[in-house]
Structure 1
Amino acid sequence: MTTVTTRTVRYPADGLTMVGHLALPAGAGRRPAVLLGPEGPGLSDVERRRADALAERGYVALAFDLHGGRLLTDPEEMLARCLPLLADPDRMRDIGRAALDVVRAEPRTDACRIAAVGYGTGGAVGLELGRAGTDLRAIGTVNGLTTGRPGEAARIRCPVWAGVGSEDPIMPPARREAFTAEMQAAGVDWRLVVYGGALHAFHHPPVDHPVLPGVGHHPRHARRAWHDVLALLDECLPVRE
């Protein structure tokens, strides 16, 4: 297994001190980088492990924070923070840009080759970075199929891949259709994968705290979605030795 170096990084965003997890690949050369955004409850060991797995593949990976170092395990508390955030594109962009600044400041990062991959709220943050015209090589979002302000999707300058469960009540067919209509009207290079029978957050292993109705793990599709994310990165952000 490739040796990976990790460290905790603290940085300001959204009036909070965010606590992210930075994973660096072996070697000394510059590498492409991935911003990795978490689901609504916030940064957990699931995202930290994903960042480490990306570093093993040769990427600089930052699993970024949403809630100032907190994991919001109470669904009501999570919604009270995330719903206003999801309704405010500028706040999401500020959170994404702060994480992007951390990645760009890392000497191992090839600052011209960065992608954003996120889940739920973290995926929405990545999409808003794209709608802001940020120079990204790819955007991947699982469960976070948000639509933006009129016309701003035309600023997206990279391929967009999205994944969603067919039985996800939080991202129902109408939400999917609005998202894909926005991408198509803007001329974005987009793809949507619908994972049959999967609920919301199907990619996330079971947790020992309450979750929203309609949330459930689907191990087979979780593996497939991860492979699809890796395929997006292999296509748009290949690691060059």
Structure 2
Amino acid sequence: MKSKLGLSLALILLSFTGNSQSKAIASKEITYKDGAQILSGISIQPTKFLKNKPGILILPAWMGIQNHEKDVATMLAGMGYMTFIADIYGIDQRPANTKEAGAKAGYFKKNIKEYQNRIQLALDQLVQQGANPDEIVVIGYCFGGTGAIEAARINMKVKGIVSFHGGLGRDETRTIDTITPKVLVLHGADDFFVPKEEIEQFQTEMRTAKADWQMVYYANAVHAFTEKGAGNDNSKGAAYNEKADKRSWQAMLDFLNEVL
């Protein structure tokens, strides 16, 4: 599918741990399509790539592309990864509030093949922007974490997936196939939005699929523990947890070093 480059959003200078030099990060809006639906993702890439040009596809939480996803993409690009933030909903379908976000995310969870297709289209864009098609990892947050797991379930051409506080549920009528990508699930130990039964079914699924999987629990963490804008009241079910955020970030970096 032919894509059209949007206007350049910015040139950012980023310094990151372990490198004394700043790298110029080129950020571009990328317009592409799913049939008649126009989508608009963001490509952020360094001027100097890591060996083999590995790429990371980022799947946003239910509100769509927000500052959190942009920050994550920028930090990873600063480390030498080519990054692309997927647009799942479309430029004229962005939710204005959490109620709308819940409805839109719910639609794609129920119509999982459409969600899978939108992820694949974004993956295609990452490759078209220059990422090595054989060196890609998909990461996602909340709703996007669910999407990352779906990428593994259908064996998209990626080496691994990372799900941050994502939903783990699956229609039990679906066939469980062998899963090739490595799987890392980073989960809040007190996340009551993901029932115990769902966790147990997911772990059984991973074993049945003969997946190379890991699941890490973070104490005192609930849903959205990486989202600084989520507040700090665990009783609401979604809250930021600085310790879990930092630990899960390091877990992801270790995973990237292993699989890429």
Length-normalised TM-score, structure 1: 0.89
Partner residue in 2 for 1:182: 205
Q: Is the 8 A contact 2:23 2:48 kept in 1?
A: no
Which moved further from structure 2: 129-138 or 214-223?
Answer: 129-138
Q: Is the 8 A contact 1:33 1:113 kept in 2?
A: yes
Tell me the amino acid that sits aligned with residue 134 of structure 1: M
Give the deviation of 1:151 after TM superposition: 6.1
Q: Is the 8 A contact 2:88 2:119 kept in 1?
A: no
> Which of 114, 127, 136 lines up with 2:158 in the alignment?
136
Q: Any idea what the Cα deviations from partners look like across 1:159-192, whole Å, max 9, x if unmatched?
A: 1000111111211322221111111111101100
The separation in 2 between residues aligned to 1:63 and 1:77, in whole angstroms, is 20
Q: Does 2:33 match 1:12?
A: yes
The separation in 2 between residues aligned to 1:229 and 1:38, in whole angstroms, is 16
Q: Is the 8 A contact 1:44 1:71 kept in 2?
A: no
Partner residue in 2 for 1:21: 42
Q: Does 2:144 match 1:95?
A: no
Change beyond 3 A, Cα 1:151–1:81: closer
Q: How many residues align?
A: 233
Q: Does 2:139 match 1:117?
A: yes
Q: Does 2:237 match 1:214?
A: yes
Tell me the amino acid that sits aligned with residue 166 of structure 1: A
Task: Please list every run of 5 or more consecutive structure 1 residues that lacks an aligned counterpart in the other structure.
Answer: none
Tell me the amino acid that sits aligned with residue 201 of structure 1: A
Partner residue in 1 for 2:254: 231
Q: Is the 8 A contact 2:137 2:159 kept in 1?
A: yes
Task: Please list every run of 5 or more consecutive structure 2 residues that lacks an aligned counterpart in the other structure.
Answer: 1-21
Change beyond 3 A, Cα 1:27–1:159: same
Partner residue in 1 for 2:67: 45
Q: Is the 8 A contact 1:158 1:189 kept in 2?
A: yes
Give the CA RMSD over aligned residues: 2.1
The separation in 2 between residues aligned to 1:231 and 1:116, in whole angstroms, is 15
Q: Is the 8 A contact 1:104 1:111 kept in 2?
A: yes
Give the deviation of 1:127 after TM superposition: 1.8
Q: Any idea what the Cα deviations from partners look like across 1:103-122, whole Å, max 9, x if unmatched?
A: 1112x311111110111111
Which moved further from structure 2: 44-53 or 27-36?
Answer: 27-36
The separation in 1 between residues aligned to 2:192 and 2:97, in whole angstroms, is 19
Tell me the amino acid that sits aligned with residue 23 of structure 1: I
Give the deviation of 1:153 after TM superposition: 4.4
Q: Any idea what the Cα deviations from partners look like across 1:67-124, whole Å, max 9, x if unmatched?
A: 2246535221111111121122201111111101101112x31111111011111122
Tell me the amino acid that sits aligned with residue 194 of structure 1: Y
Tell me the amino acid that sits aligned with residue 101 of structure 2: M
Q: Is the 8 A contact 1:145 1:162 kept in 2?
A: no
Percent same amino acid at aligned positions? 23
Q: If you compute each CA radius of gyration, which structure gives the higher value, 1 or 2?
A: 2
Q: Any idea what the Cα deviations from partners look like across 1:50-72, whole Å, max 9, x if unmatched?
A: 11111111111001122224653
Higher relative contact order (CA 8 A, sep 6+): 1
Give the deviation of 1:207 after TM superposition: 5.2
